Amino acid sequence: MEEIRQKILEFMENMATGPLTFRELAHAFDVKKAYRDKFKKIVKSMVAEGELIKTRGGTYGLPSKMNLVTGELVCHPDGYGFVVPEGEGTDVFIGSRKLNGAMHGDTVVARVEGFKPGGRREGSVLKIVKRARSTIVGRFEWGRGFGLVIPSDERVLDQIIIPPKEARGVQEGQIVSAGITRWPSRTMSAAGSILEVLGEPDDPDVEAEVILRKYGLTNSFPKDVMAEVKSVPSEVSEAEMSGRLDLRPRTTITIDGETAKDFDDAVSIEKTASGYRLWVSIADVSHYVKEGSAIDREAYERSTSVYFPDRAIPMLPEALSNGICSLNPRVDRLTMTAEIEFDEDGRPLKKRFFESVIKSAERMTYTKVKGLIDGDGALASQYGHILADIKLMAELAKKLTARRFEQGSIDFDLPEPQIIIDIEGKVEDIVRSERNEAHKLIEEFMLAANKAVAEEFSKRGLPFIYRVHEEPDEESVHDFADFVASFGLRFTPGGPKSFQEALAKFEGRPEERLINHVLLRSMKQAVYSEENAGHFGLAFEDYTHFTSPIRRYPDLVVHRLLKLLMKKAYTKEMQARMESALPVTANHTSVRERKAMEAEREIADLKKCQFMKDKVGDVFDGFVSGVTSFGFFVELKDFFVEGLVHVSMLADDYYVFDPKRHTLMGERTGRKFRLADAVKVKVAGVSLERRRVELLLYDEAAEAREKAKGRKKQGR
């Protein structure tokens, strides 16, 4: 069916002279009478999903040919929205009066009706193709004779009216989940019923649950998935190992974080006459998760595992993710292996891929591996049986890093926060996340394996899912050049190498973090794509994700494609099927990845706010980490927590925002606030609902004067 849909789209794009009736469309494809109903169902489903538009005259056409755009509606709390096209093209601005009942996240068809200053398209929502949600989480309030649910997600613009009989027992201010019984329209508000009372708004667990529901995340799996899980084995059988290369005699180890439970990858190494031989063995998830199964469908919908400070929302059920697919120590596990040979300088010489079986010798942590590399005697005694392998791995990893940087790979040295949770689930501390030699070792080996797999498909020209990172646009590059010029650096763009060299010139200088920050913001986001556009940041022509199929769906797809290639089953028919299916998969998984990142960021912001709740009135040193037209953000030196100094709190002048120089400047005083500036701030308040820490600039002299005044009053 997918193949027929693709052919219809190609025909309408390249051969049809205009919108066609169903009869004309059926005639063009020479549809026999016996198959006409089936063909009509396909056309109807394409209309339902917005791929085709049915006009009032009963003809069918492509949205793009009819000045229409199909895409996701992204709303702004101020009441307007943008339709983000599913394919190429710029966003379409939708004014508040032209949303026509569409809500944030809905898939819609919009008509382009004009252009705003600067060339941005504007229009109105013509049709709602697919609703993003059927439930809303928010705060319950009583109105005049009815209830209201005010959505917790500010981008959901419609309040939900709750009839009194549907709100019995609900208290004012409680956080609830409401089911939508009537969708909003141009003339009518949305209505609903209370499904569940989650609790009080200041309850930390309730706040976390609100975020999970906002992004549609849940630990539980559907019944059909759990029914399939019952047949998942707990051990690898002899029959399953048949025909696989047995790597169990080799010393293979996993290296992960202290709290990791699902082990995707394991590594093994040996010294050769010409250099090194590396084995990167990845959990063979595709052996257990069959395409089209209930587990597979659910994994596709989730597309990724989501990680929070106090919990994880896995892509696969625990029996797979922490069980038979996890490369636990001293048990047999089925794997897919990339075997790569390198010369003495770390240049890849040859590679091969095969199905394998391993038995991990040790489950190592980054901390222990770093200790072994640094010569920790106690650890060397405990892990003497793998010490030589670890040392050899570190030796190869350093050479791979040197070669990658030589080619222009950009390494952003921006610290990440690690939120420490105590046994009661409360935030105990927020510290700098460590990235040591052991982390870099595993990173290099995973990069090498991912690159090797992508190269194999690229050279054959076969349909594939790549991990692409396009080069920044001209305007962003120009802005970056202007910015670094203010620090005396003349920047001439010339591929990733030029950006890497710019970062190197600021290494060790006070501006280093600032330059890293600005360059990162000028870069595009990496995505999945069936088109190989290369990976700009890594300076790789070919790159994919192969090494984490337990937690990323694209990796699972890559494993399936690699098996087809290894078994010579990548036929022309299969190629045609993949050409049709992979663009949809790449787009869906990219969207889900972005939503997962948003959820992780919002939960982290909530935890930071909970941590700062009892620190209102405290004074901290910090530095400016972001500048906007409405103020600037400050990261506290003692904790990896960011707060906002709102421009309205800068009472000494009117401040003007310069976006190119990331600066707020006082019109009269000339006082500047820019990225990386050191400041002293006072915590003025914490809003859990808005996930925001509110700060004031701290003036020691003013504080001393206020204290002196207070003492005088007391004396009187």
Instruction: Quick: pLDDT tens for 142-174.
Output: 988 899 999 999 899 999 999 999 888 899 999
Section 120-147 average pLDDT: 90
Mean pLDDT across 668-690: 89
Torsion over CA: 100, 64, 470, 91 (sign): negative
Out of 33-47, 94-108, 643-657, pick the least confident: 33-47
User: Cα-flanking dihedrals φ and ψ of residue 485, to 5°?
Assistant: -65, -30
Average pLDDT over residues 27-41: 86
In this predicted structure, the answer to whether residue 707 has a pLDDT above a threshold of 70 is no
User: Residue 84: is its pLDDT beyond 70?
Assistant: yes
Range of lowest pLDDT (96-105, 361-370, 486-495, 616-625)? 486-495
Instruction: Record the pTM.
Output: 0.85
Alpha helices in 375-511 (DSSP H): 377-382, 384-406, 437-460, 474-485, 496-505
Mean pLDDT, rounded, for 189-205: 89
Closest CA to 546 of 469, 464, 459: 464
- Kindly compute the dihedral angle of the four CA atoms of residues 446, 452, 453, 455, in this order, to the nearest 10 degrees: 140
Q: Report pLDDT for 377.
A: 93
User: Which backbone phi and psi does 90 adopt, to 5 degrees?
Assistant: -80, 160
* Dihedral pair phi/psi, residue 331, rounded to 5°: -135, 150
- Proportion of the chain in helix, strand, coil states, percent, rounded to 5: 35, 30, 35
DSSP H or E segment with residue 715:
helix 700-715
Task: Report whether 75 contacts 155 (CB < 8 A).
Answer: yes
Q: pLDDT tens digits, residue range 592-632?
A: 999 999 999 999 998 999 999 999 999 999 988 889 999 99
Q: Please report which confidence band the pLDDT of residue 711 belongs to, taking 50, 70 and 90 as the band edges.
A: low
The Cα angle at residue 253 between residues 249 and 255, in degrees rounded to 5: 170
Here the tokens at position 3 are 């193949």
Mean pLDDT across 639-660: 90
- According to DSSP, the residues that pair with 193 across neighbouring strands are 179
With b for 16 or more beta-carbon neighbours within 10 A and e for fewer, the 535-561 pattern comes to: bbbbbbebbbbbbbbbbbbbbbbbbbb
308 pLDDT above the threshold of 80: yes
Cα angle value 575/31/69 (rounded, 5°): 65
Compute CA 324 distance to the chain's CA centroid, rounded to the nearest angstrom. 26
- Nearest-10 crossing angle of helices 366-374, 384-406: 90
The better pLDDT of the pair 161, 674 is held by: 161
Write the CB contacts of 151 (distance below 8 Å, at least 6 apart in sequence): 136, 137, 138, 158, 159, 160
Mean pLDDT across the chain: 90
pLDDT of residue 34: 84
pLDDT of residue 238: 94
Buried b / exposed e over 474-485, threshold 16 CB at 10 Å, is eebbebbbebbe
CB 543 within 8 A of CB 455: no
Residue 33 has pLDDT above 80, yes or no: yes
Which range, 25-29, 107-111, 542-546, has the best average confidence (pLDDT)? 542-546
Lowest mean pLDDT among 79-83, 419-423, 645-649: 419-423
Task: Tell me the angle at which helices 366-374 and 437-460 cross, rounded to the nearest 10 degrees.
Answer: 110
pLDDT average, residue stretch 26-47: 86
Instruction: Return the H-helix or E-strand segment holding 679.
Output: strand 678-687
Q: How confident is the model at residue 706 (pLDDT cuts 50, 70, 90)?
A: low
What's the average model confidence in pLDDT over 405-434?
83
The predicted-structure confidence for 317-360, as pLDDT tens digits, reads as follows 999 999 999 999 999 999 999 999 999 999 999 999 999 999 99
Tokens of 187: 């003339």
| pLDDT band for position 708 (cuts 50, 70, 90) | low
* pLDDT tier at 219, thresholds 50, 70, 90: confident
Domains of the chain, with CATH numbers?
Answer: 2-63 (1.10.10.10), 67-130 (2.40.50.140), 135-201 (2.40.50.700), 232-468+535-602 (no CATH), 474-523 (no CATH), 616-715 (2.40.50.140)
d(CA 661, CA 483): 6
pLDDT-based confidence at residue 67 (cuts at 50, 70, 90):
confident
390-419 pLDDT per residue, tens: 999 999 999 999 999 999 998 876 777 888
Mean pLDDT value of segment 80-92: 85
Report pLDDT digits (tens) over 470-512: 999 888 888 888 888 878 888 888 889 999 888 888 887 877 8
Kindly tell me the burial class for residue 194, based on how many C-beta atoms sit within 10 Å of its own C-beta (0-12, 13-18, 19 or more). buried
The model's confidence at residue 700, banded by pLDDT at 50, 70 and 90, is low
- pLDDT score recorded for residue 24: 87
pLDDT score for 260: 84
Burial letters 376-411, b for 16+ CB under 10 A, else e = eeebeeebeebbebbeebbebbebbbebbeeebbbb
Name the most confidently modeled range: 22-26, 133-137, 285-289, 653-657.
Answer: 285-289
Sign, Cα dihedral of 698, 700, 701, 706: positive
* pLDDT (tens digit per residue) in 112-121: 888 877 678 8
What pLDDT does 75 receive?
Answer: 94
Nearest to 162 by CA among 176, 177, 149, 144: 149
Amino acid at 582: L
Percent of the chain surpassing pLDDT 70: 97
The percentage of the chain sitting over the pLDDT mark of 90, rounded to a whole number, equals 60
pLDDT at 525 over 70: yes
Q: Which amino acid is at 619?
A: V
N-terminal to C-terminal alpha carbon distance within the chain: 88
Q: Report how far residue 597's alpha carbon sits from residue 585's, in angstroms, rounded to the nearest whole number.
A: 18
